[in-house]
Amino acid sequence: MLLETRDHERFAFTEGPFVNELSADPGVVSRVTERLGMIRTQALSPAESAGYIERMVDQS
């Protein structure tokens, strides 16, 4: 998760099964921003997601 304050400070929050981390380190924020950007470019649209789920339900 990326967070930005009103003063434009940026933070990255990562959550895992054993550890949660809030970081203002520019390197960490940059890596999280890059990874989330990659996920967004590969994600289906809401309509495509609904169609995919419907196809999976029909197949079961």
**Per-residue pLDDT reduced to its tens digit, 3-57:** 999 999 999 999 999 999 999 999 999 999 999 999 999 999 999 999 999 999 9
Q: Scanning the structure block, which residue is given the tokens 């967004």? A: 40
pLDDT of 60 over the 90 cut: no
Q: State in Å, rounded, how far the first CA of the chain is from the last one.
A: 33
State the Cα–Cα distance between residues 2 and 48, nearest whole angstrom. 25
> Which pLDDT value is given to residue 7?
96
